[in-house]
Structure 1
Amino acid sequence: MRNPTGRQLRFGAELRKLRERAGLSATEAGQLLGIKQAQVSNMEAGRVGVSAERVRTIACHYDCSDKPLIQALSDMTSQRTRGWWEQYRELLPSALLDLAELEYHAQSLRGATTARIPGLLQTREYALEIFRQAVTELSPPDIEHRVSFRVKRQAILFREDNPTPYEAIIHEAALRMKVGGPTVARAQLQHLLDMSDRDHVTLRSITFDVGAYPGSGQSLYYAHGPVPQLDTVHLDQSHGLVFLDAEAQLHKYRTLFERIEAVALDPDKTRDLIHNVMRDL
């Protein structure tokens, strides 16, 4: 694999973590596994496929007894099919494709935003206006690619079987921002209300009255994997998308989300707030 996907890179990184926890060098690991050091490096870089049987062999030689983690990694070896996002491979940054792949496989998702409605809950018209206002001006075809990509990402919330559970915490500032004008803003708010009626979508808000709170200066996105070690944090930075998966980072953002949730309105009061904002338009 010359260009491994984000998921393949993550799988390889987890193999490297297992080796490092065992205190083994790549050369020592190769000797235990009966392969060359270069093959160990290629597996850890996501450049070659690894079977479920090989994962279990690796875990045995690395003295890993975490059965849920071993099973989760074994399951990843059978999920190599590239999804719908591959049709955008030459059209959009690869990090966006990695984001769609991450969302597709996530057990559940949660996010917190201050200035915008989360991408998974945006209407097409709202997303169109967001991309029109990009700092780096986009051509009409580029805008259309990004809008259609964003809309297709939302399919995980509409699957008939096992739609992805999603919790979104949206600051009142994002609710009141008239992106695209009153008509677009009103339709966006109604869409939030409609989505909040779905059992697997939890919508909460933070009001202006709360003031400063932990994490208020950034948008946060947390993807839960089949086991906590395979969780991922996604940050949308001005210079591009960032994915974090170190144990300390995951712990930090899990704690941060708990503190954000502590100051957020419950779902019913959030719906009341949205209705009030709609009346003010």
Structure 2
Amino acid sequence: MTSADEPTRLPRRQLGRFLREAREGQGLSLERVSHLMELSKTALHRIETGGVKKPRIRDVQRLCELYELTSSDIDRAVELTKQAQVASWYTAFGGLYSDTTFNMYVGLAAAARQLIAYHEIVLGLVQTADYARATISAFYHDRDAEEIDRRVEFRLRRQTIITRKADPVKLELLLHESALHRVVGGPRVMATQLHHLAEVSKLPNVSLRIHPFTAGCSWGVLHGPFVLLDFGIDSKGRQVEPPLIYFEGNGKPDLYLEHADDIRRYHEMASAIRRTALDETHTRDLLRRVARSYVT
């Protein structure tokens, strides 16, 4: 559990994963790197698993150089190291992590075993190309077409975590009915998007349910979108990583909560939404019915 005076674990876990993947990418063993770095194997393992509360920038830089990483990747690793030393009950990231080449949420979602998401527009992981282009173009309205294309391509590539055949991420999407009526990109874009949702919902690892207007406010408040990330358990029944709650910043720094009380509260909130959501069959019926209304 992360207390107010304890450095948050999130950036050091991400730093550890980043360094471990870089080491494995070079085909180097823990034993070989510990010898070259003059660090014990245990110390290196603790860095890679986020067990070092305040990793040293010097050690991280040396590891990055050993793995022949680019200067920009070294800068990112150093920034994570600095973030790991910040005492806070939450972690807010922006700027650096808005870069599509190193987006923290993308890495977290890909590493998760299950995502439980409540959204009021269509979640990026299940957007069509045209819907994605409309939302990205509106947000990055001052960027050129080439950058918009690159961001759309990146978003679509991310979707493979739920569509891949080998060990896909489990996705439970609780989508507010307003997302069906908020016109993004025009009627035809919406019709295609809603038909796409109906098809995606048939995947064995995907559960999609609409939270209708008639359900009101589940907790008596408008709580806004959130994503719960669960990383599963290992062969010994231990958590691979503690679960997280993610809130997209929408122009402000993204926010991550990792305190056990916050995790419990948002699981309860998801349960409250789930209890008043349409079942999967009625959800598909509604999606197709609204889709038809856009093209008639």
Q: TM-score, normalised by structure 2?
A: 0.64
2:104 aligns to what? 98
Residue equivalent to 2:185: 180
2:13 maps to 10
1:116-139 CA distance string (max 9 Å, x none): 101100011101000111176333
Tell me if structure 2 keeps the 8 A contact 1:175–1:274: yes
Q: 1:279 to 1:12 in 2, by over 3 A?
A: closer
The answer to whether the 8 Å contact 2:228/2:243 transfers is: yes
Query: 1:19 is matched with which residue?
Result: none
Correspondent of 1:156 among 147, 151, 161: 161
Q: Extract structure 1 runs of 4+ deviating beyond 6 A.
A: none
- Cα distance 1:98–1:45, how it changes in 2: closer, same or farther (>3 A)? farther
Instruction: Select the structure with the greater relative contact order (CA < 8 A; seq sep ≥ 6).
Output: 2
Distance 1:11 1:122, change over 3 A: closer
Matched, 1:122 2:127: yes
* Counterpart for residue 23 of structure 1: none
**Kept in 2: contact 1:109–1:221 (CA 8 A):** yes
Stretch moving more, 245-254 or 196-205: 245-254
Instruction: Report Cα offsets for 1:21-40 as digits up to 9, x if no partner.
Output: xxxxxxxxxxxxx99xxx9x
TM-superposed CA distance for 1:161, in Å, is 1.2
Which secondary structure does the structure 1 equivalent of 2:103 belong to? helix
CA distance in 2, matches of 1:91, 1:257: 27
1:56-71 correspondence to structure 2 within 5 Å: none
One-letter code aligned to 2:226: L
Q: Which amino acid aligns with 1:9?
A: R
Matched, 1:113 2:116: no
Q: Pick closer, same or farther for the CA change 1:177–1:269 going to 2, 3 Å.
A: same
Give structure 2 stretches of 5+ with no counterpart.
Answer: 1-8, 17-41, 61-66, 77-95, 234-238
Q: Aligned partners of 2:101 and 2:273: how far apart in 1?
A: 26
Q: What SS does structure 2 have at the residue aligned with 1:43?
A: coil
Percent identity of equivalent pairs: 25
In the alignment, the residues of structure 2 paired with residue 243 and residue 105 of structure 1 have an alpha-carbon distance, to the nearest angstrom, of 15
Inter-partner Cα distance in structure 2 for 1:251 and 1:142: 39
Partner of 1:68: none
| TM-score for both structures, normalised by structure 1 | 0.67
Deviations 1:43-62 (A, max 9, x none): 2245668xxxxxxxxxxxxx
SS of the residue 2:168 aligns to: coil
> What is the rounded CA distance, in whole Å, between the counterparts of 2:97 and 2:244 in structure 1?
25
Matches within 5 A, 1:216-235: 216-227=222-233, 230-235=242-247
Aligned-residue RMSD, C-alpha: 3.3
Query: Secondary structure, in 3 states, of the residue corresponding to 2:139?
Result: coil
Total equivalences in the alignment: 215
Structure 1 residues not aligned, in runs of 5+ = 1-5, 14-33, 50-79
Note if 1:43 corresponds to 2:55.
no
